[in-house]
Amino acid sequence: MRRVRSFVVFSLAWLLASVAQPHVAAGQEPPTVDQAVPNNANTGCQSQADCKAPRVCQAGQCREAGSCQRDTDCPGQQVCEGGRCAERTPPAPAPAPTPAEPEPGVPLTGELAIGGSLQSWGNVPGGLGWFWSLGGGVRFRNGTGILALLGEGYATLGNGREFQLGHVGAGISFRNMNGQSTLGLLSVSSGGLTSDERGFGLVIRHFYPLVDRFGVTLEIIQAYVEDASVRTFGLGLGIAQ
């Protein structure tokens, strides 16, 4: 009876050992203890000691060193990129602001004309002569400008009288398709700029550009001095800035 019991115990022990041992094919080495025990893959951990090298404990999981799922899995300032911890790429520097172009100031402008003229005084037949006129001021971006006007005209009238008409005033200049025009209000004197025989008048002047700043100037003055009507028609060479 004792022999039967010993045989049964031995048979059970052998059967349990056979089931616990992994199957090894013919010609293969039996697995070692390290190979048989999983490498803590996807297992929880509380410290590095809970993970088998080369795995590390990150966010409560044993993972390969440097692997990650989110930025919080990476040490320090590293970020998670493609499942690996990497240094944070510094943001590209903002482009330097383009300096604003300075707005151009109000340009100065000027006009000068010298040429021949035809002048008349009241009922006296007109005579030929010459004139000069000058205008200077500022011009705005739209081509409009404000000018101070100054000039004189000289002629010998039909009765042989020497005639001189001076003017000083102000006008508005504006640009058009054919050049620059000026309309102005004048204070005139029949004996030149220093004469006491004064009156008032209007001037219309137009500058026709030909080459660069040079061109032809047409000037018409209608004035009244001592109840007499004075007219001047001038045509000459001009220069404008």
Residue 206 in domain: yes
Looking at the structure, tell me whether residues 134 and 62 fall in a common domain.
no
Residue 129 in domain: yes
141-146 long-range contacts, CB within 8 A, separation 24+ = 141/104, 142/175, 143/174, 143/175, 143/180, 144/172, 144/173, 144/174, 144/175, 145/109, 145/172, 145/173, 145/174, 146/170, 146/171, 146/172, 146/173
Per-residue pLDDT of 89-119, as tens digits, reads 777 788 877 776 655 556 777 888 888 888 8
Question: Which domain covers residue 80, as residue numbers?
Answer: 39-89
Choice between 68 and 201, residue whose per-residue pLDDT is larger: 201
Number of domains in the chain: 2
Looking at the structure, tell me whether residues 67 and 154 fall in a common domain.
no
Looking at the structure, tell me whether residues 218 and 121 fall in a common domain.
yes
Cα separation of 18 and 88, whole Å?
54
Looking at the structure, tell me whether residues 118 and 209 fall in a common domain.
yes
To the question of pTM greater than 0.75 for the whole model, the response is no
Per-residue pLDDT of 137-184, as tens digits, reads 888 877 788 889 988 888 887 777 787 888 899 999 888 878 888 999
Residue 21 in domain: no
Looking at the structure, tell me whether residues 158 and 82 fall in a common domain.
no
